[in-house]
């Protein structure tokens, strides 16, 4: 800590030491209070960055709607009404959440039968695809259907002779059992051999190309018969040669059900958009909970998540370590695994074309701590963050070409964050240059605008972000719409944070006060073994129509009030006129509030400023403490 020496006129008088705090860079829950840097606080609650270096009380939230069941997800398709997943139901909300409070703005049920668990979504090719671990769903802006009901029928082979063979074209679609094979008829063969036997009871369809270019439909047992065991189609009359030389003229659509194929996709709960050369044109899905598939992921057709080829998958790492989530770094896809040991838990792939087909080969495997929170993945200042048992980590461009990653970003939060139970349930969102991680009714924040480039406490990390800590935020899911931060709770409440920093009504949680405080580290002076006498405490307080401050000091482990000021930092405003908050002052600049204090013969002291009043903002500009060091502490 920096201490300034001020020489008094009398040579015999002890020098006055001064602690001046002009930058407030968040909390430090990890170091001991006696070793915390003065710009950080070992105990600051509900304080957040206003501008870099300054802090204020967080704004409050208000309930804007209610749905039945716990809120499991919020899903948005561009320019279409958003959806909220609550319990087992998917509701459509008005465009703009403000409309939910208005007449006719109630949520509309679009789909029922979802898993009562968190869901994720991705927009691709003008539609929204939602995974909840029960069924992959498709939202087109008006209706919700299962991807299975819309699944494309693949063409397995083309240019196929009646006896079999031909050119492989596409793979089976895991989402549904139907497939098409295109034959080039020779005008003589009556028996056409499909690639698969063991067909199910779904009627086989046949189309024959006519001379005029149209296709004639034929129904089973009306012109042909089917041997389902062998996969043979026998025509009563041999189909004619193709009317167009070299063009397939017989299409056969059959069905072969493989138990569990569709569930490989439907049971997935996490995904990301990725493709060849890093293009975001295929959906990758993972986190199928079945023991055989925890280390699998699958990728869809290009711009078509209703098609999932039965060979379009990968097995990543050890079979007993599940995939938790994904990051994209430098046009490469990183899959994060959950192994608790410090093993190769990040598997890096790239997207290529091989023989005109997509290929996603592994290019590196990185050693490091395994991920734990599947909903903790988010991008702050272009670097992906994710949660581990050792805190929040980043995966950087330099990491993906090395052997390990060690870019921890949450050192200052870890002292409290890592004691939270159920970290795997944490939910993250980046909002206005801040990474918000909600867990157990609290929010841990990393500030992307405030970072130190090196820190001796975490020597392998290139930077540490300033951290903040919020309470009484019962967020199960976070999202933003039109610049407003929302969250959904386990009780089905939909809530929005206020955005007007000047409005007094912005500083309550549904009408209840918000307690906010900032505590200094232990002030030990230049010589910890010397006796100290603290003589003055001053605060630079942001002004408001209504604000107040209570200052306390901790002496020998006991907190004592120094002063409580309710008037000095107020000013008059017609826009927020209230007799209870009336002030003659028109000065809106920060105010200095200082008091003489008398804390004698102590080895250290800590100071706290707080505000827990309803509808009152509270912002800090500066803190100053003066003291003298005299004899040895006894």
pLDDT at position 2: 53
Please list the ranges in the chain whose pLDDT falls under 70: 1-13, 96-105, 341-342, 454-460, 571-588
Give the bridge partners for 388, in sequence order: 371, 391
User: What per-residue confidence (pLDDT) applies to 574?
Assistant: 47
Which residues pair with residue 353 across a beta bridge?
Answer: 358
Q: CB of 41 within 8 A of CB of 520?
A: yes
Instruction: Name which of 315, 310, 300 is nearest 358 in CA terms.
Output: 300
Determine the pLDDT at residue 169.
96
Residues found in the chain: 634
- Over pLDDT 90: what percentage of the chain? 83
Q: How far apart are CA 5 and CA 216, in angstroms?
A: 98
Could you report the per-residue pLDDT of 281-299, keeping only the tens digit for each?
999 999 999 999 999 999 9
For 338, the enclosing helix (H) or strand (E) is none
Q: Which of 411, 405, 441 is nearest to 426 (CA)?
A: 441
Residue that the structure tokens 């716990």 belong to: 70
Query: What three-state secondary structure class fits 140?
Result: coil
The answer to whether residues 486 and 74 touch, using CB atoms and an 8 Å cutoff, is: yes
Q: What is the pLDDT of residue 586?
A: 55
Give the pairing type, strands 71-75 and 313-315: unpaired
User: Token digits for 14?
Assistant: 């002890």
Fold of 4-40+520-632: Jelly Rolls (2.60.120)
pLDDT tens sequence across 233-255: 999 999 999 999 999 999 999 99
Determine the Cα–Cα distance for residues 53 and 348; give it in Å rounded to an integer: 37
Q: Determine the 3-state secondary structure of 629 from DSSP.
A: strand
Q: Strand order of the sheet with strand 407-408?
A: 378-380, 383-388, 391-394, 407-408
The CA-based angle 152-155-160, given to 5 degrees, is 165
Whether 4-40+520-632 and 178-255 share one fold: the answer is no
Cα–Cα distance for residue pair 162/190, rounded to 1 Å: 8
Give the pair of three-digit tokens for residue 607: 């100071």
Residue 406: what pLDDT?
82
* Other residues' Cβ atoms within 10 Å of the Cβ of residue 295: 21
Q: Would you list the domain boundaries of the chain? A: 4-40+520-632, 70-144, 178-255
Give the C-alpha separation, 335 to 371, whole Å: 10
Which residue do the tokens 């270096």 mark?
Answer: 53
pLDDT given for residue 401 in this prediction: 85
Per-residue burial over 31-67, b if 16 or more Cβ lie within 10 Å, else e, is bebeebbbbbbbbbbbbbbbeeebbbbbbbbeebbbb
Check if the beta carbon of residue 285 is closer than 8 Å to that of residue 207. no
Give the pLDDT score at 584. Answer: 47
**Pair of tokens at residue 107:** 């949520």
The H or E element containing residue 623 is strand 619-632
Q: Which two structure tokens, joined as six digits, stand for 157? A: 């082979």
What is the architecture, at CATH level 2, of domain 178-255?
Answer: Sandwich (2.60)
Name, in order, each residue with C-beta under 8 angstroms of 575's C-beta and a sequence gap of 6 or more.
none
State how far the alpha carbon of 417 is from the alpha carbons of 29, 34, 200, 373, 470, in Å.
Answer: 9, 20, 54, 13, 12
- Mapped onto helix, strand or coil, the DSSP state of residue 167 is strand
pLDDT in tens, 147-191: 999 999 999 999 999 999 999 999 999 999 999 999 999 999 999
What is residue 105's predicted lDDT score, i.e. its pLDDT? Answer: 64
Angstrom distances, CA of residue 194 to CA of 118, 210, 254: 42, 22, 9
Tokens, residue 373: 């929170």
Q: How far is CA 11 from the centre of its chain?
A: 61
Least Cα distance to 607 among 552, 544, 547 occurs for: 552
State residue 590's pLDDT score: 86
Task: Evaluate the CA torsion angle 550, 554, 557, 560 in order and state its sign.
Answer: negative
pLDDT at 575: 60
Residue 585: per-residue pLDDT? 57
Q: 105 burial class (0-12, 13-18, 19+ CB within 10 angstroms)?
A: middle
Which of 105, 107, 67 shows the shortest CA–CA distance to 87? 67
């Amino acid at each position: 800590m920096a201490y300034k020496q001020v020489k008094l006129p009398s040579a015999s008088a002890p020098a006055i030491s001064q602690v001046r705090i002009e930058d407030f860079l968040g909390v430090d829950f990890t170091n001991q209070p006696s070793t915390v840097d003065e710009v950080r606080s070992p105990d600051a609650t509900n304080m957040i960055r206003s501008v870099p270096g300054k802090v204020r009380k967080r704004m409050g939230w208000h309930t804007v709607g209610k749905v039945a069941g716990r809120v499991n997800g919020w899903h948005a398709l561009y320019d279409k009404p958003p959806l909220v997943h609550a319990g087992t139901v998917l509701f459509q909300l008005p465009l703009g959440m403000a409309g939910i409070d208005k007449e006719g703005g109630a949520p509309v049920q679009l789909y029922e039968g979802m898993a009562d668990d968190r869901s994720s979504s991705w927009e691709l090719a003008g539609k929204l695809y939602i995974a909840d671990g029960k069924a992959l769903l498709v939202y087109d802006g008006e209706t919700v259907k299962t991807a299975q009901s819309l699944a494309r029928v693949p063409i397995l082979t083309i240019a196929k002779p009646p006896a079999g063979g031909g050119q492989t074209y596409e793979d089976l679609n895991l989402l549904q059992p139907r497939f098409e094979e295109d034959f080039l008829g020779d005008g003589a063969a009556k028996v056409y051999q499909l690639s698969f036997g063991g067909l199910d009871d779904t009627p086989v369809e046949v189309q024959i190309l006519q001379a005029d270019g149209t296709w004639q439909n034929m129904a089973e047992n009306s012109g042909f018969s089917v041997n389902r065991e062998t996969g043979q189609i026998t025509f009563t009359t041999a189909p004619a040669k193709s009317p167009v030389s070299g063009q397939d003229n017989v299409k056969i659509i059959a069905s072969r059900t493989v138990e569990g194929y569709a569930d490989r996709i439907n049971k997935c709960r996490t995904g990301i958009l990725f493709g060849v050369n890093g293009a975001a044109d295929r959906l990758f899905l993972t986190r199928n909970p079945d023991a055989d598939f925890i280390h699998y992921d699958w990728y869809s057709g290009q711009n078509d998540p209703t098609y999932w080829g039965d060979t379009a998958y990968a097995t990543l790492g050890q079979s007993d370590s599940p995939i938790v989530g994904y990051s994209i770094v430098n046009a490469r896809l990183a899959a994060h695994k959950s192994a608790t040991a410090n093993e190769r838990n990040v598997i890096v792939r790239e997207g290529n074309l091989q023989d005109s087909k997509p290929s996603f080969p592994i290019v590196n495997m990185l050693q490091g701590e395994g991920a734990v929170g599947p909903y903790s993945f988010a991008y702050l200042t272009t670097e992906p963050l994710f949660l581990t048992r050792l805190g929040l980590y980043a995966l950087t461009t330099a990491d993906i070409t090395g052997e390990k990653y060690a870019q921890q970003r949450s050192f200052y939060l870890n002292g409290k964050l890592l004691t939270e139970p159920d970290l795997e349930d944490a939910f993250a969102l980046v909002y206005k240059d801040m990474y918000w991680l909600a867990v157990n009714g609290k929010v841990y924040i990393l500030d992307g605008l405030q970072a130190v480039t090196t820190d001796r406490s975490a020597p392998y990390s290139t930077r540490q972000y300033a951290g903040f800590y919020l309470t009484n935020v019962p967020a199960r899911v976070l999202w933003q719409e039109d610049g407003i931060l929302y969250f959904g709770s386990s009780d089905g409440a939909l809530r929005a944070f206020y955005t007007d920093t000047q409005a007094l009504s912005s500083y309550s949680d549904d009408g209840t006060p918000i307690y906010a405080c900032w505590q200094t580290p232990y002030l030990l002076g230049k010589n910890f073994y010397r006796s100290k006498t603290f003589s003055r405490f001053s605060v630079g307080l942001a002004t408001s129509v209504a604000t107040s401050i209570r200052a306390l000091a901790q002496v020998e482990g006991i907190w004592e009030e120094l002063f409580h000021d309710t008037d000095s930092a107020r000013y008059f405003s017609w826009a927020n006129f209230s007799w209870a908050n009336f002030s003659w002052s028109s000065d809106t600049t920060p105010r200095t509030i200082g008091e003489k204090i008398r804390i004698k013969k102590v080895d250290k002291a800590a100071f706290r400023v707080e505000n827990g009043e309803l509808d009152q903002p509270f912002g800090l500009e500066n803190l100053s403490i003066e003291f003298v060091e005299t004899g040895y502490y006894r």
